[in-house]
Amino acid sequence: MKRRTKLISSIIGAAVVVLLYYLLVGFPAAWTMQMADIANNTDKFTDKHGYTVPGEYSVTVDLADLESNVGKELYNDGAHRIYVMWFDNVDLQGGGYRIGFRTVGTYSSNGASLISGTHHKTVGEHEFTSETSAKMTAEYNGNVYESATYGTSGINFKDGDEFSFYLFPNDAYKKDGITQDEKGTVRLTVTGLYQNLWSRK
C-alpha cells in the first residue's frame, strides 16, 4: 500500500511540474519556439536593452591537433556559453587557419538573452541586421596578431548563433614564417562581446 501511495505521489508531482512549465512557457511555444522567433517578433519584443560586455576572454588552442580544440570554452557565466565549434586549416588563398565559435543563450516566452561576438539588431519595423562586435587577437611565438573576421551568422540555431575569425593575417605567413603545419599553441583573446537582450515591450 505504501509503495502504491509513493508511486501515485510521484506521478502527481511530475504532472504538476509539467503543467507549471506549460503554463509559464505556453503550450504551443513549448514545442516550437526558438530564439529567432523572439528576436523576429518586433510587435511583442524589443532589443533596445542590449549592451557591450566588458572585459577580455581567452582560450588556448593547439595547432598540432585542430579537432582537439572543439568544445573548448571561451566564455561561460552559467547562463551563456561560447565555445569552439570548428577549427580548420585551408590553403593560404582561403586564409589559412580559421576558427568558429558557437554561442548558447537562454530564451522563454518572456524574452531571450544571448552573449555573442555578434550584435543582432532591428533597423526597421521588420528589418534586421547582424554586425560583428567582437575583435580577436592571436598570440603566437612571442607575436600578437590582429585576427580578421571570417564570418558571422544570424540566429540560426534554436538557442544561439555562430561567429568566426582567421587566426593570422596573410602577411604573417610571409613575414613571420608561419606555415600550415604548425605544432605550437596559440592564445586567442576576444573583446567586444555583446549581450543581446530581447524583452517584452
Q: Report whether 112 contacts 122 (CB < 8 A).
A: no
Neighbours of 164 (CB within 10 A): 22
Position 7 scores a pLDDT of 52
SS3 call for 19:
helix
Q: What are the grid coordinates assigned to 139, written together?
A: 598570440
Q: What are the grid coordinates assigned to 169, written together?
A: 593575417
Give 23-65 pLDDT, tens digit per residue.
Answer: 454 544 445 789 999 999 999 999 999 999 999 999 999 999 9
Position 10 scores a pLDDT of 58
pLDDT > 70: percent of the chain? 85
What CATH number does domain 35-200 carry, 2.60.210, 3.30.70, 1.20.120, 1.10.3470? 2.60.210
Give the CA distances from residue 194 to residues 8, 37, 49, 111, 145, in Å, rounded to whole numbers and listed in that order.
48, 20, 11, 16, 22
Position 125 scores a pLDDT of 72
Position 75 scores a pLDDT of 98
Say how far residue 34 (Cα) sits from the centre of its chain. 15
Position 28 scores a pLDDT of 46
User: How far apart, in whole angstroms, are the C-alpha atoms of residue 52 and residue 148?
Assistant: 20
Write the single-letter amino acid at 175: K
pLDDT > 90: percent of the chain? 75
Residue 13 banded pLDDT, cuts 50, 70, 90: low
Position 27 scores a pLDDT of 45
What predicted TM-score, i.e. pTM, was given to this entire model? Answer: 0.83
Report the mean per-residue pLDDT for the chain: 88
Give 87-127 pLDDT, tens digit per residue.
Answer: 999 988 889 999 999 999 999 989 999 999 999 998 877 77
